[in-house]
Amino acid sequence: MKWLIFLIILSCCHLSMAQNFDLNNIRQLYLQATDNRENCKQLLQLTMSDNADTNPLKYGYYAVAKILYSQFLFNPISKYSQFNQGKQMLEQVISLHPNNLELRFLRYCVQLNAPSFLNYKQNIMADKILINQHIWNESKDLQSFINPILQSL
């Protein structure tokens, strides 16, 4: 009986590790999702299911994927609804984790590229300042993800 319980626990751990959130993969997929519908769908699927408390980065990328996916919709009402849903999710996770540089960077990119009629440009300067002040305190992986994008903007 003990062996059976041990095997069940071991298989559960193995399954959870197989579904682990690969942040570097998600970052690369995010870059590819900006102009590719299939990559955007894949980003939505890979980041779906978490909430803002358990995994804020995964939730933040899910919110951004929803925003990005809105550009691939045809119906203007659906586009606007999808964009607003992602925007609300992104603002929610940032309000819970205001010092998370990667979340602020994601919002910075969204706001910088959002059409002005959507009225979502309020935090560009504050996010840019925070990013520039604190990027050097972050991991090399995050720095190598953010710096080329900042230089291209």
Three-state secondary-structure class, residue 61: helix
| Residue 141 in this model has a pLDDT that exceeds 90 | yes
Q: In the prediction, which pLDDT does 53 show?
A: 81
pLDDT tens digits, one per residue of 7-48: 344 444 433 333 456 999 999 999 999 899 999 999 999 998
Per the CB < 8 A criterion, the answer to whether 37 and 72 are in contact is yes
pTM of the model as a whole: 0.84
Arithmetic mean of pLDDT over the chain = 87
Q: How far apart are CA 143 and CA 102, in angstroms?
A: 10
